[in-house]
Amino acid sequence: MILMVIIFLVLLFWENELDEEAMAATLEQLHVDYPQSDIPIRYCNHMVIQRVIKEPNNTCKKEHFFIHERPRNINSVCNSPRMVTCQNYAPSLCFLSEIKFKMTVCKLTEGTRYPACNYRVFATEGFIVVTCDDMGPAKIERYTE
């Protein structure tokens, strides 16, 4: 009986640890491309398919962006004194980066159902807005030029 309890606790701990790693990896996978991938043509189309970027209902996202900066620099946004209101009237505060980050913005030009999505590429620099928790950035909300 004691052995079963120990096995249960080990499995429970292991499952929670994997979930936390998956959550952290998801944020980076969705928005961070550092160093920038060397894809000369159709960067956005390639990245959206490779990273499975889509809406929950399997439609194409109208806009998505990839930040070409070290993850530790993105994590430091949570220490920014520049706090702003989050979108959708979220109860938490968001943090605005103090510096602009290099990024690629992908804007949908054709297609409605994933993976048949075609994007136009826009290279830009912008401030990012993130929500943070005890571990760092929890979600990258948006960018602003």
* Structure letter (DSSP) for residue 134: T
Q: What is the pLDDT of residue 26?
A: 74
User: How many Cα neighbours within 13 Å face the side chain of 3?
Assistant: 0
CA of 27: how far to CAs of 7, 40, 63, 66, 131, in Å? 31, 24, 16, 11, 11
Contact call for residues 68 and 36 (beta carbons, < 8 A):
yes
Q: What is the pLDDT of residue 87?
A: 79
Strand partners, 40: none
Q: What is the pLDDT of residue 5?
A: 36
* Token pair 């292991």: residue: 14
Burial-class residue 25 by CB neighbours within 10 Å (0-12, 13-18, 19+): exposed
Cα Rg for the chain, rounded, in angstroms?
18
CA of 91: how far to CAs of 9, 124, 142, in Å? 34, 30, 16
Contact call for residues 137 and 75 (beta carbons, < 8 A):
yes
pLDDT tens, position by position, for the chain (145 residues)?
654 434 443 333 444 333 433 444 478 889 999 999 999 889 999 999 999 999 999 999 999 999 999 999 999 999 999 999 887 766 678 999 999 999 999 999 999 999 999 999 999 999 999 999 888 898 899 999 9
pTM here is: 0.79
Q: What is the largest CA-CA distance in the chain?
A: 61
Tens-place pLDDT, residues 62-73? 999 999 999 999
Chain-centroid distance of CA 88 in Å reads 18
Q: Dig out the tokens for 117 from the structure.
A: 């999505």
Task: Choose among 63, 59, 27: nearest CA to 44.
Answer: 63
